């Protein structure tokens, strides 16, 4: 037959049928449907001649008009046995594969493909040897296992395969009847060596068997899970029916709501497991029991904590700077630190957030700058006021065993923010108290430690909460009452009081506009002159911050609102001439420098909680018994400074004044404004100078002020609050100020507008001061 076939093929172009997803093998019968016009013509042409066609698989099954490069090189010569014409121009074809052939050339003739074929040499020994018999049996065994796993195969085909003894035909029959990718089948057809074909088919069958076993395992697990879910569903429905009979239907529906929320919750596995356990307990408890309410509150708390929900920081430094400058005037150090933090976040997203503590007098913008920082970073803002907090449970929460237990303020803040990375402001951290219920500041040690707060433990929640993404800011008026371990965990930025120019800018750029809007006015209805603003600052307020300044501006706006309410066309202008009409008589007068130099009267500088102040110290000497009288409500430290100053002055004047003089005279040192308590060592040099002047009769310059602690040997030691003191000296009209030499670095950091107009002299001893202060 092969000789007759070869004669038929000699120099003859055979119709070519290109197939999608189908590979025809010799000795196998294949059924397929064709719809392409070119394929139908090729099959029809074969039926009209010798019924021979060449079938070859396409490389790309989507190609509509394939050429030689679009089909595989090896195909199968086949004989068309039957064609059936179906509706919609579709033809069903039955063919029998005859022989592997190689497609050499293809051309289009009468709208269908014809090709020139070439013989393909088979290699490998297929004679009936023991080795071949072993291969045949092994392949049949493998196919049997495959059929057992598959579970569905035509029994007639199965029996034909099992009865086959020819290895080549066995390979073709098995490959043709297993549902694998056509490219794998083509690979077997392309192989010339029969034994390699056997090897390829064995690998494919083994892999398919493994895949089916894995699928069976997965299906078994899924079925088991479905069965468990159905069982659980059935039991839950029973529980619902029972609860309905008992009148507890709402509790069941509430538990279902919690379950739905749990499925949507983004949280660690341990958290979800804990909530799931609590929901299970909640279902089993009676709605009238106290435990039911405790479990409900606990579940709701855990569901409302933002375990993984996080907002994205706005790391645009220019945008942040613009917002900070827009909301606040000055506060340079705070703004710089926030911008540095942003720069680090830009370069390293998981960088630790700083823990900043802002320390300064009331009204200097500590709380409001935190709100601006949150706005600049696009973070939620949470304020927690710690003033007067005495119970550790306020920070860590109460244990659930207590009636009315609830989480601490930190967890409550996270719940309000609904994000795990808000900015939390711990306001008035210096006013935390302690009592028998514990020390809240000790609980804050864990909160404010970046190495520990990744696993913050709240007594109520019981599950560690990650606070490492939270940016903490704290505010305080003084560092004295903050425990040292807590202070060590914070980066302290000191905010000094505002200077008069700063207050002027704040009032003009922020406060006036804010109060005009708050009182229902417009900018055209009320204007306040610059001189009027200066008068309000100097004569109606006395503070380091701007709270009272805002109150006075609000008072002006209310008065203006009354005028506008009476006459809508009224335009109110506030100037230095009519300011008393709005604010009444001036409340404060600046303690200006004396016009003339005097004996025993010296101007000192003091720091108060509302800013700097000039302090006039007076000394009188009179006949007596050698007593030192100190008046003016002086504290212990200040009284000691006065005694040190007197001892030093006596030692300096021992060669000029007889010792009997001090036994026969009393010395009275007074600090005016006797109702105001005064303390601190910084007036030491001022008292020494007043005593020296009174004892020697030499006048002290009226335009000189001084500050510094004095020792028994006359050395001048450094002091604090220098900026506020210099501001007070400037307001009082002082021309020269003596400052301890060791405060030189502090003076360098003070703005030039504060130092302008004041001659600052650095001194190391009392004699240096007297060179500048005592008139010669």
How many CA atoms are closer than 13 Å to the CA of 67, on its beta-carbon side? 2
Residue 40 vs residues 50, 78, 80, 85: alpha-carbon distances, Å: 16, 15, 12, 10
Q: Residue 488 above 60 pLDDT?
A: yes
3-state secondary structure of 216: helix
Write the pLDDT tens digit of every residue in 112-151: 888 888 888 888 776 777 888 888 888 888 888 888 888 7
pLDDT at 249 over 60: no
> CB-based contacts of 193: which residues, under 8 Å, 6+ apart?
123, 124
Cα(297)–Cα(157) distance, integer angstroms: 68
Closest CA to 177 of 154, 159, 197, 194: 154
* Three-state DSSP state, 22: coil
Cα–Cα distance for residue pair 405/294, rounded to 1 Å: 8
pTM: 0.60
Q: For 239-268, what is the mean pLDDT?
A: 73
Longest dimension (CA), the chain: 156
Res. 4 pLDDT band, cuts 50 70 90: low
Q: Which residue has the higher pLDDT, 352 or 637?
A: 637
Report the range of poorest mean pLDDT among 35-39, 592-596, 729-733, 762-766.
592-596
pLDDT at 9: 55
**Mean pLDDT of all residues in the chain?**
85
**Can you give the pLDDT at residue 244?**
65
Catalytic residue status for 38: no
In the chain, what are the helix, strand and coil shares in percent, each to the nearest 5?
45, 20, 35
**Residue 661 near residue 621, CB atoms below 8 Å:** no
Q: Is the dihedral of CA 278, 282, 283, 285 positive or negative?
A: positive
Are 139 and 188 spatial neighbours (Cβ–Cβ below 8 Å)? no
Asked about 730 being catalytic, the answer comes back as no
Q: Average pLDDT of 514-522?
A: 89
Q: What is the DSSP string of 378-446?
A: T--EEEEE-TT---THHHH---TTSTT----HHHHHHHHHTSSS-EEEEETGGG---BTTB-HHHHHHH
Question: Euclidean distance between the first and final Cα of the chain, in Å?
Answer: 143
What is the full DSSP assignment across 648-674? HHHHHTTTTS-HHHHHHEEEEEE-S-T
Lowest mean pLDDT among 6-15, 144-153, 567-576, 690-699: 6-15
Query: 226: buried, middle or exposed (CB in 10 Å: 19+, 13-18, 0-12)?
Result: exposed
Question: Out of 353, 441, 682, 693, which one is annotated catalytic?
Answer: 682
User: Would you say 279 and 255 are in contact if contact means Cβ atoms under 8 Å apart?
Assistant: yes
Of 99, 274, 725, 730, which residue is the catalytic one? 725
The rounded radius of gyration (Å) of the Cα atoms in the chain is 49
- The fraction of the chain above a pLDDT of 90, given in percent, is 15
């Amino acid at each position: 037959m092969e000789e007759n076939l070869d004669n038929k093929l000699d120099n003859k172009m055979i119709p070519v049928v290109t197939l999608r997803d189908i590979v025809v093998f010799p000795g196998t019968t294949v059924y397929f449907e064709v719809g392409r016009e070119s394929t139908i013509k090729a099959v029809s042409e074969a039926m009209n001649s010798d019924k021979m066609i060449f079938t070859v698989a396409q490389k790309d099954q989507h190609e509509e008009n394939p050429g030689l490069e679009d089909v595989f090189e090896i195909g199968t010569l086949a004989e068309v046995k039957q064609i059936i014409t179906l509706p919609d121009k579709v033809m069903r074809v039955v063919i029998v594969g005859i022989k592997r052939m190689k497609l050499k050339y293809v051309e289009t003739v009468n709208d269908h493909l014809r090709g020139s074929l070439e013989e393909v040499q088979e290699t490998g020994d297929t004679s009936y040897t023991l080795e071949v018999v072993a291969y045949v049996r092994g392949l049949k065994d493998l196919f049997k296992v495959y059929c057992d796993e598959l579970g569905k195969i035509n029994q007639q085909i199965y029996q034909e395969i099992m009865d086959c003894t020819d290895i080549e035909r066995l390979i073709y029959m098995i490959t043709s009847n297993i549902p694998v990718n056509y490219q794998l089948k083509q690979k077997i057809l392309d192989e010339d060596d029969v034994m390699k074909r056997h090897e390829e088919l064995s690998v494919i069958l083994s892999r398919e068997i493994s895949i089916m076993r894995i699928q069976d395992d997965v299906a078994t697990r899924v079925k088991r899970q479905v069965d468990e879910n159905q069982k659980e569903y059935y039991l839950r429905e029973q529980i619902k029916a029972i609860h309905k009979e008992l009148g507890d239907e709402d509790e069941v529906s509430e538990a279902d709501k919690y379950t739905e929320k749990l499925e949507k919750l983004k949280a660690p596995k341990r958290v979800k497991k804990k909530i799931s356990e609590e929901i299970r307990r909640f279902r089993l408890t009676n709605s009238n029991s106290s435990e039911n309410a405790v479990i409900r509150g606990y579940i709701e708390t855990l569901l409302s904590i933002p375990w993984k929900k996080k907002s994205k920081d706005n790391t645009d430094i220019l945008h942040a700077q613009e917002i900070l400058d827009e909301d606040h005037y000055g506060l340079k150090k705070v703004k710089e630190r926030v911008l540095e933090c942003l720069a680090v976040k830009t370069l390293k997203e998981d960088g630790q957030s700083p823990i900043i503590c802002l320390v300064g007098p009331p009204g200097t913008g500590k709380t409001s700058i935190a709100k601006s920082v949150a706005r600049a970073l696009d973070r939620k803002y949470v304020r927690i006021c710690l003033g007067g907090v005495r119970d550790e449970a306020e920070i860590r929460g109460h244990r659930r065993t207590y009636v009315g237990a609830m989480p601490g303020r930190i967890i409550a803040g996270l719940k309000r923010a609904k994000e795990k990375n808000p900015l939390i402001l711990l306001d008035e951290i210096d006013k935390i108290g302690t009592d028998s219920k514990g020390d809240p500041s000790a609980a804050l040690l864990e909160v404010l430690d970046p190495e520990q707060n990744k696993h913050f433990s709240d007594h109520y929640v019981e599950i560690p909460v990650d606070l490492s993404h939270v940016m903490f800011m704290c505010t305080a008026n003084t560092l004295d009452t903050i425990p040292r371990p807590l202070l060590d965990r914070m980066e302290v930025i000191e905010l000094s009081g505002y200077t008069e120019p700063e207050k002027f800018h704040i009032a003009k750029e922020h406060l006036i506009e804010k109060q005009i809007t708050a009182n229902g006015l417009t900018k055209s209805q009320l204007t306040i002159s610059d001189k009027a603003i200066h008068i309000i600052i100097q004569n109606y307020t006395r503070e380091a911050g701007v709270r009272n300044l805002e109150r006075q501006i609000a008072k002006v706006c209310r008065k203006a609102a009354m005028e506008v309410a009476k006459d809508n066309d009224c335009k109110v202008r506030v100037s230095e001439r009519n300011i008393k009409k709005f604010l009444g008589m001036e409340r404060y007068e600046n303690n200006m420098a004396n016009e003339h130099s005097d004996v025993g009267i010296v101007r000192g500088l003091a720091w108060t909680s509302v800013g700097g102040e000039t302090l006039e110290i007076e000394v009188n000497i009179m006949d007596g018994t050698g007593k030192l009288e100190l008046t003016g409500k002086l504290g212990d430290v200040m009284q000691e400074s006065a005694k040190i100053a007197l001892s030093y002055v006596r030692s300096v004047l021992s060669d000029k004044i007889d010792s009997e003089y001090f036994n026969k005279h009393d010395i009275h040192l007074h600090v005016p404004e006797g109702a105001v308590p005064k303390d601190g060592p910084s007036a030491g040099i001022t008292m020494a100078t007043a005593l020296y002047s009174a004892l020697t009769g030499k006048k002290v310059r009226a335009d000189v002020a001084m500050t510094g602690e004095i020792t028994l040997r006359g050395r001048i030691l450094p002091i604090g609050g220098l900026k506020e003191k210099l501001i007070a000296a400037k307001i009082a009209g002082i021309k020269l100020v003596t400052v301890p030499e060791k405060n030189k670095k502090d003076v360098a950091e003070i703005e030039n507008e504060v130092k302008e107009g004041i001659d600052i002299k650095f001194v190391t001893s009392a004699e240096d001061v007297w060179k500048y202060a005592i008139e010669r």
